[in-house]
Amino acid sequence: MSLRAKIHALFTLRPTISCGLLLMIAALYLALGLNMSLWRFIFTRLAFDHFGAFALATSFPVLVFAIVLLLLYLFAWPYLLKPVLLTLCLLSSVANFMMFNYGAFLDIDMIRNVFETNPHEAFDLMSFTGVIWVFFTGIVPAALLMRLNIKYRSPLREAGFRVVAILLCAGLTWGILGVFYKDYASFGRNYAEIKHLISPINYIYSTTRYLKRQRIAQRPFEILDAQVKPVAYNNTANSAANAAPRLLILVIGETARASAFALNGYARPTNPQLLQEDVINFSNVASCGTATAISLPCIFSAKPRTKFIKDDEYNVQNLLDILKLANYDVLWLENDAGCKGVCARVPTEKIATNSPSRFCDGNNCFDEVLLENLDERLAALTQNTVIVLHAIGSHGPAYYERYPEAFRQFTPDCRTTDLQRCSQQEIINAYDNTILYTDFFLAEAIRTLKRFPKLNSSLLYVSDHGESLGENNLYLHGVPYAIAPDNQKKVPLIFWLSDRMAKDERLDSGCLRKQAAENAYSHDNLFHSLLGLMRVDTKLYDATLDIFRSCRKPDSRITASASPRTG
């Protein structure tokens, strides 16, 4: 046979394999080969100082293999076998890359991020390393699987064989758990997050929970308070003196961690512009979550973090709905990945990346694009208004795309989405450049407001969550809240108000600065603080969570009956 014929025979070869052997091989590959993050997690946390630790370490792979094989025998039935295995192979390959390289945990919040991300964000994660990784660990095995002929037993014999196999797998699972029960219980208590690393169980379970919650979210819109109204004043003179429109610019940042702000003591000069402005910096603020899909809607929800369930809140009246009922013009300007349902019932303008703007290049828009027409909007403003600027901020891993060349001050900076190709310092440099640009962006917004001194204007900036930059081998964000590091949970909160607004609100800036420096706050405070600041009368308002209330001097203009109701 000629060499050409041999090569042709090799590529047309379709070997035959029994269904049972294929399931065994597939379970070994899925459980052991595509669970590298799990094995790293376990073996870096076990203390190998006695024989029991070695025995426990050995039992983990056997246990996961037995569970995966049991599931395959339950659900990968003949003639559905190839589609099931192909799907699991490809998905597990991608999951393996994300968990191993970015320290991701595939819980329901991370699955939500997958479903609710946009194509551009997804493309950012498709690094060269990721493509190679998925090609060799996912596509190549899938291609080999496609070449196989699978030999099946008769239906009756197949059913009997599966029953026996399932019983054996279940027995092996229970046997291991029985022998190592105390060790597993102890390890599980100390590292509860491990369940989000066991592939493919983690993403199958989390996806099922996500889809279930999505069905719940389809229920009718719920009104929490239909009697919302603006707070009234006692006399005509004071009312007329404060007839100027009340304006709030609410800037929702993206992925900014408090520890990267010079305002919070960071050694690098990341806030040169804001340090020149009369801002009030809140130094100890916790986010509602570690991912935008949770934190963003939670910020606008009447519920605190501990009671907030994202899907249950999708069709529930939120802060923007309440401001609309209080006769505020509300506008949402979007330069990130969407409002996650928050702006569903208010006017919204999405900045297209191909906008004819000097701040857009077809792939990205720098956040300054949100300020392009702000002067014209403010000049035409005639009634109380809230404008939300949803910035792209420090969204990773493409940090280098978030700032113009002029703000490339910390170098060398990581110039790729493949973070593994950069040193940790290069990643930090790129990230710090995004904070430097955010500093300029916020200062520019404040300077714009200063050009309209007749408005009762204010600006509040808060980030949705923080970011990990390689500390403890964690990157990006999305770690389960209970175990997430402070860098993913501690966020910046910065407030500025005009002299006219300060006088109208009787706010003591010195008191606010003292409170901001000494007290701990969270996203839970924002809903009630903004209702108080915007003088909205609603039973949903909780004065104990209003960060401005204790620094507001008594105001005789407000009638007692018209004060924000405490419920």
pLDDT tens readout for residues 318-348: 999 999 999 999 999 999 989 999 999 999 9
CB 296 within 8 A of CB 465: no
Instruction: Check residue 331 and give its pLDDT.
Output: 98
Q: How does pLDDT run across 452-475, given as a tens digit for each residue?
A: 999 999 999 999 999 999 998 888
- Residue 212: count of CB within 10 angstroms of its CB: 12
C-alpha torsion 379→382→385→388, nearest 10: -30
Lowest mean pLDDT among 79-83, 389-393, 518-522, 548-552: 79-83
Average pLDDT over residues 501-509: 91
**What is the rounded CA–CA span in Å between residue 324 and residue 91?**
43
Determine which of 318-332, 394-408, 468-482, 506-520 has the lowest per-residue pLDDT on average. Answer: 468-482
Under the banding of pLDDT at 50, 70 and 90, the label for residue 556 is very low
Instruction: Give how far Cα 537 sits from Cα of 229, 386, 534, 543, Å.
Output: 5, 16, 9, 12
- Asked if the peptide bond before residue 356 counts as cis, ω within 30 degrees of 0, the response is no
Q: Note the pLDDT of residue 235.
A: 41
Tell me the three state secondary structure of residue 79: coil
Task: Read off the pLDDT of residues 117-137 as tens digits, 9 standing for 90 and up.
Answer: 777 776 777 788 889 999 999
- Reference 198, options 87, 34, 418, 381; nearest CA is 34
3-state secondary structure 38-81: HHHHHHCCCCCCCHHHHHHHHHHHHHHHHHHHHHHHHHCCCCCH
Q: Is 35 a residue whose pLDDT tops 80? A: yes
pLDDT at 357 over 80: yes
- Residue 19: name the closest of 99, 78, 66 by CA: 78
Q: Over 90: is that where the pLDDT of 79 sits?
A: no
Could you tell me which of 106, 100, 109, 123 has the C-alpha nearest to residue 395?
123
Domains of the chain (ranges plus CATH)?
3-215 (no CATH), 245-541 (3.40.720.10)
Return the amino acid letter for 305.
R
447: pLDDT strictly greater than 60: yes
What lies within 8 Å, CB to CB, of 486 at 6+ separation is 259, 466
Q: What is the mean pLDDT of residues 515-525?
A: 97
Rg, C-alpha atoms of the chain: 28
pLDDT at 24 exceeding the cut of 60:
yes
Confidence class for position 395, pLDDT limits 50, 70, 90: very high
Q: Is the predicted pLDDT of residue 371 greater than 60, yes or no?
A: yes
Mean pLDDT of 358-376: 95
pLDDT the model gives residue 347? 97
| Strand pairing category for 493-497 and 280-282 | antiparallel
Residue length, the chain? Answer: 567
Q: What is the mean pLDDT of the chain?
A: 89
pLDDT of residue 12: 58
What is the per-residue pLDDT across 164-192, written as a single tens digit (0 to 9) for each? Answer: 999 999 999 999 988 887 777 667 767 77
| pLDDT reported for residue 246 | 94
Mean pLDDT for 389-407 is 96
Q: How many CB atoms lie within 10 A of CB 14?
A: 8
Q: Is pLDDT of 210 > 90? A: no
State yes or no: pLDDT of 237 exceeds 50.
no
pLDDT of residue 111: 86
Q: What is the pLDDT of residue 189?
A: 62
Mean per-residue pLDDT, 272-295: 96
For residue 457, give the H/E element and its range.
Answer: strand 456-463
Q: Are strands 280-282 and 456-463 parallel, antiparallel or unpaired?
A: unpaired
For residues 201 and 71, is the Cβ–Cβ distance under 8 A? yes
pLDDT at 56: 84
Share of the chain above pLDDT 90, in %: 66
Q: How confident is the model at residue 10 (pLDDT cuts 50, 70, 90)?
A: very low
**Spatial distance between the Cα atoms of 226 and 518, rounded to a whole number of angstroms:** 37
CA distance 121 to 480: 21
What confidence score (pLDDT) does residue 110 get? 85
pLDDT at 564: 57
Whether pLDDT at 88 is above 70: yes
Average pLDDT on 281-292 reads: 96
Question: 66 falls in which pLDDT band (50, 70, 90)?
Answer: very high
Query: Given a cut of 60, is residue 238 above it in pLDDT?
Result: no
